[in-house]
Structure 1
Amino acid sequence: MSRDDVWHRGGMEETPSCCAAPSPAAQLPDLTYATTTRGPAERPRTTGTPSTKGQVLVPAGEFWMGDTHDEAYPGDGEGPARVVQVDAFRIDVTAVTNQAFAAFVKATGHVTTAEREGYSAVFHLAYDGDGSDVVGRPEATPWWLAVTGASWRHPEGRASDVTKRQNHPVVHVSYDDALAYCAWAGKRLPTEAEWEKAARGGLDRARFAWGDELRPRGRWPVNIFTGTFPTVNTAENGYATTAPVKAFAPNGYGLFQMSGNAWEWCADWFAVDTATAFGPDNPTGPDAGETRVMRGGSYLCHDSYCHRYRVAARSSSYPDSTSGNLGFRCANDA
């Protein structure tokens, strides 16, 4: 299925880079080690000259991966929670920024998926056009607009730009765009297991990247939707769309905004049974699939609809999907 199929099928259960409607909390089996039942994908490899610029080392070790708070959506495959072993690796301190992506485009001439296709998904409250450039609006998720001219350069459509958002995460980038950047930068995408270990920042089975409380001491530590989703965003945390990549405090590993702000592509194909189908040693997910894993949630996550800014939460999107709340960060072998 392609991005066009998703936009034009009508109904559209698979939304572009956003969460599915919430379901009752999953009833997860007892915590256990995963066991292998089918072949995993190969471990992602760095292409080009390896670079560790802007990265921190995440130490090797075991951690609890998956939901341990009975908050998972059954269709997401967060559970059962299990102990996973990950080798040491390096990961970017922040998501890739508009400034960094612009340097890549200038050096390579890369044209993104959204630019080639001529449109991308924009959240309706961020859009300020007259409607003439809106070419799609799915019935199931009408807050998403397919806007012609929307791209990483023009996040809300042709009239917008990133001149004053150089230190914001680049968005409207597909999985293929992320791979192309990684190849140029001498890096790779993190596996899903690497991503979650990094996001946890050394905390054991915490709900969020900073602990168990959403607003410690009454302060917002994350850029998510505040107000009434999807009609009123009060921007209590200071931002209505993306925020600068270092706008909030880092986690225990020194990584910024592993929750909220913008979803991040991971290397793995998505499968609901990932937790039980693959072993606990450096899991890489299935060797094929339709959608790729994305992690972290975004500025559109809200408890009334989607609390996938939890550190165990996962979702997925088609590799050619692009939207105003989907970006990436890079990793590398240690």
Structure 2
Amino acid sequence: MVLIPAGTFTMGSDRFYPEEAPLRRVFVDAYWIDEIPVTNRQFAAFVEATGYTTVAEIAPDPRDYPDMLPGMDRAGSLVFHKSPVPVDTSNPGNWWRFEFGADWRHPLGPGSDIESLELWDHPVVQVAYADAEAYARWSGKELPSEAEFEFAARGGLEAADYAWGDTLAPDGAMMANYWQGLFPFANQMLDGWERTSPVRTYPANGYGLFDMIGNTWEWTSDWWSETPRGARKAPASKSCCTAKNPRGAKLSDSFDPAHPGVRIGRKVLKGGSHLCAENYCQRYRPAARHPEMIDSATSHIGFRCVSRGS
């Protein structure tokens, strides 16, 4: 783990997506954070030690999902499928498919496995929030807050768009694993990877942390709200307006208003993933944030842990 010193920074962005605003001053106490996202090798050790079964390995209970289609009460999770042609990017159903038998051991479906794909040192994926939380408890750690993740991801840079500065690919250098080309059908793979990449493939940020941007989204402990809870736009000189160790919204605030009958909370994801592209989801940035239902497991979400002890 890496020690992140206590400090104040400008959180958020007013240059990309509305849910990242407003800019606000935030103070966080010192904490330790994992140098890398949790890998398949590390997660396998946890499962072997505890016998833990992930959410994606358990068939959903139809009583919890009254609108479930017939035949969907089987274990599985969401897997990305590149489209053969340009598609409507407003409909994620054009590239996400629920695959029966997809889980952390079989991230692309039952015909795949981490052994044959040589994924031991890649970030673990297909983990729902409860899975990440269970691993954190087992390891004596916790999941980071949104503010802790963003502060660490910035690597000591104040208000830069990216974790390494204000240019996405300085002098053409690939600084993270994201989608180059037109999403979701034309990945030029200038970074060398179609999907996830091994941890430490790209340069560490200013704090010595790897993969804080791109590769996989990462769970945080904060409940989602469209506007960050308690966010106040204030001049940096007004220390009275600096939020200290902010935490997320209330559970009730995190429900998706587009689906009023669904009462499954959404947590904040940070960091972006290998599916973020310039023409779609430019969220390979420290300020970027995204809501995810806590029962969801996908092929592009992982996590890392923090420790707030001495």
One-letter amino acid of the structure 1 residue matched with residue 299 of structure 2: G
One-letter amino acid of the structure 2 residue matched with residue 148 of structure 1: F
CA displacement at 1:59 relative to structure 2? 0.2
Q: 1:179 to 1:253 in 2, by over 3 A?
A: same
CA displacement at 1:303 relative to structure 2? 1.3
The unaligned stretches of length 5 or more in structure 1 are: 1-54, 127-137
Specify which of 94, 101, 120 is matched with residue 77 of structure 2.
120
Q: TM-score, normalised by structure 2?
A: 0.83
**1:187 equivalenced with 2:141 (yes/no):** yes
Specify which of 43, 61, 71 is matched with residue 7 of structure 2.
61
CA displacement at 1:125 relative to structure 2? 2.9
Preserved CA contact (<8 Å) 1:82 1:275: no
Alignment partner, residue 108 of structure 2 = 156
Query: Helix, strand or coil: the match of 2:178?
Result: coil
Aligned 1:171-210 pairs, distance under 5 A: 171-210=125-164
Alignment partner, residue 93 of structure 2 = 141
Q: TM-score, normalised by structure 1?
A: 0.77
One-letter amino acid of the structure 1 residue matched with residue 27 of structure 2: Q
One-letter amino acid of the structure 2 residue matched with residue 193 of structure 1: A
Q: Which runs of 4+ in 1 moved over 2 A?
A: 138-141, 275-279
One-letter amino acid of the structure 2 residue matched with residue 63 of structure 1: F
Q: Distance in 2 between matches of 1:211 and 1:92?
A: 22
CA displacement at 1:273 relative to structure 2? 2.2
CA displacement at 1:277 relative to structure 2? 4.9
Q: Distance in 1 between matches of 2:213 and 2:52?
A: 28
Preserved CA contact (<8 Å) 2:38 2:303: yes
1:250-274 CA-partner distances (Å, limit 9, x unpaired) = 0000000111100000000001122
Preserved CA contact (<8 Å) 1:80 1:276: no
CA displacement at 1:219 relative to structure 2? 0.9
Q: Distance in 1 between matches of 2:55 and 2:92?
A: 24
Q: 1:286 to 1:303 in 2, by over 3 A?
A: same
Q: 1:140 to 1:202 in 2, by over 3 A?
A: closer
CA displacement at 1:275 relative to structure 2? 5.0
Q: Distance in 2 between matches of 1:209 and 1:273?
A: 22
Aligned 1:216-295 pairs, distance under 5 A: 216-274=170-228, 276-277=230-231, 280-288=243-251, 289=254, 290-295=265-270
Alignment partner, residue 211 of structure 1 = 165
Q: Distance in 2 between matches of 1:175 and 1:191?
A: 13
Q: Distance in 2 between matches of 1:276 and 1:141?
A: 33
Alignment partner, residue 100 of structure 1 = 42
Q: Distance in 2 between matches of 1:59 and 1:275?
A: 24
Alignment partner, residue 299 of structure 1 = 274
Pairs aligned (count):
266
The unaligned stretches of length 5 or more in structure 2 are: 60-74, 84-89, 233-241, 255-264
Query: Helix, strand or coil: the match of 1:211?
Result: coil
Q: Provide the alpha-carbon RMSD of the alignment.
A: 1.7
Query: Helix, strand or coil: the match of 1:141?
Result: helix
